[in-house]
Structure 1
């Protein structure tokens, strides 16, 4: 008879496409979110927290992959009423629902910012996770492109606030109306029948969005019959003729040395399209508004190559890109790329209300920004741990707790060693693993004399690595001070004195 092995133990492994965050990573993210929130708050935006779960109906068809309008999310069906619910895939769709649900209570325009994790049921890959943080700011109810200009200025301020200096980033601005005007001129958009050529336009949008990665030849191939990649996989193209493709390629190459010259070139390209001409005028207004606030081409530029992949954008679109070089896994230099983006989406709230509600906003990719700062060495490394009060005598735990209490009251991060105190060496190993800067030691002898030993673990590690044997024996990293002076002595060490 087979022996019953009992229940199978669960496998201790993070699900594919997800990851765990520890210590310094969590602290760094919180510091970044606080810095970004401070900029948003300074601009007059209010915080909003929405549920992590929305109805699939509320999320709508605007999912990350336009080819799979009902997929891309983690969804389940409720047993009682049959409703489908899903984890939010971004912070914009929940805002559209909030703006419609509370439209009689919210001020108009409504300016909000939101921060938190989002989930996408997509194929994971290197650096591509199914859960990541977003940090959004949006204005709902403002039709003026002044709202778009403000978002662009705010993105520039956010990047500088978190430690990306001017010269290491650029905010690029375009307008979907201009691109639609170009498509109208190219013969793949019919204002009288917006759904006509919708499939071809989707391919064109994604092709333009891949310009940095595929280059002009790759994009041109996708505008035509299609493209075969290095692995041999074939991607079907939009099927445009040579003249049609040239119109689109001319649009992508329209950027000039100044915003005024770029706008003039775009006006030539959309001649004959009412929608395109309207979009060019909006770009001209945005450039003028930004210039009046002192945001020049060193920070924000008009760039026709920006299209943004999502289909719900209806007007200005923008993307914040880091321009400094990093090196890939093969040691090849490349630019870091986009860390934020957004645009105007005037039709999203309309899904709920039936009435057009103008809206615009941007999302900052917090995880990518943190990765960029680590690449530049501006954050990272081991975070300083707490001061550790060691335990030499179990019976004197109350006194050790009193010590740690005094340190905490002085604003010093501190803890008592709560493991088995029998082996003192293990206590110091624990302090080292915690990256503790200081250890407090008081045995029976020190207690009787009213003193404590203070061990500077940072200096001790340096001496152990660099000092001679005689210098090490002198133990300058460990000093004895009166018990009443313990806090002041620790403060001096932490201050570097």
Structure 2
């Protein structure tokens, strides 16, 4: 008889590109999201929680590769007859689901519709250092408002959000550009909307500006260039004169908004759509200015080009300007934590009618990492008060104690492991980063008292105290059972100061 081969045990590891988040990380993220939600709510936005799964048809052209619907997203094809083989996918972002929601419920929703959403999104892309396939986004959008006042409001709200969560003024900048200005530049070059491949090639090249700089874009628009690896990248094939309007557009930032706008007007030539875009930028600068948001917080900057192929009007990006050290110890700026803009064609895919929309998305993990670097969050969160168990037959007494602590608003738990070794209970409390342990054996119960052990103070004494001082255990006191809550509260208040 053949020997039955044992099934190998599964590996206890997260799938590639995914990770697990534990207590402190989850708590810090929740606190940051709550603070962001407060700002959004203060601005009049309402919460929306949409489905994590959408049809690939609903996600549409905004997938990385529409010809292969299972590429770029985590997708599957329904097998039952009723679904007729529809492709389903985990949401790639929070914007495409919003377009579907608005199109589906537009008769019941107010116009404009102002919503914010927070949650995980999934991308089936190659993971790398700090780059995961599941991550959190935090979005706010206004649908149905054609005025650039809606875009200006998003910018001011983004500024307020960064300052509220702990990024001080001077450590960030919300930079604003406009896709219509770029359209005007392309139009002046003879590359209209129907120019096809040439126009797309120019757009892809412009999108590399923040990586290769002015000279790199000039080379890629013309003859081509060698990349860092030594490989030669073919250029678009424009002449130097043809490429110049794009360079003028990308480098038109001046000392103030008036100078920048003047340079942009020169770059667009006689283009009507370009002039419309410059006028919108001017209006945004005026609107944020009258609210007190100067160029040190919100600034017109034509070098913001990422995502210009997606947006239809104003675009904005929040960049953190303080320096950090990279993995090689080199100083560099932290970079972007948020981006957004106007996307007036997204809902049209469902309704057939153009619906104005604008919004912003915050990269939650990147913003949280920035807050840690600024020392605004970090360390280990305080654990619960632990009520130890000296006699397992008196579990009811211990549960009564913990209930009393919880009813007083104190985070607490009863030790539910094996109580035989009391030292293990204190080790457990230490691993939980518990501030206080409550101890009551049979003798203490008869006398109506409890022992309150200040674990934080005890740890400090153990680091530097002599043997005699340690034996005296000044971090542990005996109080009456009726004073248990007040004594715990006193210790907790001292540990927070």
Name the residue aligned to 2:400. Answer: 402
* Partners of 1:277 and 1:66 in 2: CA distance: 33
Tell me, yes or no, if the aligned pair for 2:142 and 2:150 is still in contact at 8 Å: yes
3-state SS of paired residue (1:197)? helix
Summarize deviations over 1:442-479 as a string: whole Å, max 9, x none.
11111111111111110111111122222222211111
Name the residue aligned to 1:166. Answer: 169
Q: 1:14 to 1:309 in 2, by over 3 A?
A: same
* Partners of 2:294 and 2:64 in 1: CA distance: 32
Partner of residue 124 from structure 1, selected from 111, 121, 127: 127
Q: How does 1:68-467 map to 2 (within 5 A)?
A: 71-80=71-80, 81-187=84-190, 189-191=191-193, 193=194, 195=196, 197-208=198-209, 211=210, 213-309=211-307, 311-467=309-465
3-state SS of paired residue (1:174)? strand
Q: 1:348 to 1:412 in 2, by over 3 A?
A: same
* Partners of 2:183 and 2:336 in 1: CA distance: 23
* Partners of 1:357 and 1:214 in 2: CA distance: 35
Q: 1:220 to 1:70 in 2, by over 3 A?
A: farther
Q: 1:202 to 1:405 in 2, by over 3 A?
A: same
Tell me, yes or no, if the aligned pair for 1:156 and 1:171 is still in contact at 8 Å: yes
Name the residue aligned to 2:492. Answer: 494
Larger mean Cα displacement after TM superposition, 38-47 or 305-314: 305-314
With normalisation by structure 2, the TM-score equals: 0.96
3-state SS of paired residue (2:15)? coil
Q: 1:309 to 1:393 in 2, by over 3 A?
A: same
Unpaired segments ≥5 residues, structure 2: none
3-state SS of paired residue (1:106)? coil
* Partners of 1:73 and 1:237 in 2: CA distance: 30
Tell me, yes or no, if the aligned pair for 1:344 and 1:361 is still in contact at 8 Å: yes
Name the residue aligned to 1:475. Answer: 473
3-state SS of paired residue (1:60)? helix
What is the aligned residue count?
Answer: 492
Larger mean Cα displacement after TM superposition, 66-75 or 350-359: 66-75
Tell me, yes or no, if the aligned pair for 1:312 and 1:347 is still in contact at 8 Å: no
* Partners of 1:66 and 1:331 in 2: CA distance: 40
Summarize deviations over 1:161-202 as a string: whole Å, max 9, x none.
100010000000000000111122233x225x2536343133
Shift of 1:29: 0.7
* Partners of 1:228 and 1:371 in 2: CA distance: 34
Shift of 1:245: 2.5
Name the residue aligned to 2:14. Answer: 14
Q: 1:62 to 1:265 in 2, by over 3 A?
A: same
* Partners of 2:232 and 2:456 in 1: CA distance: 57
* Partners of 2:152 and 2:198 in 1: CA distance: 31
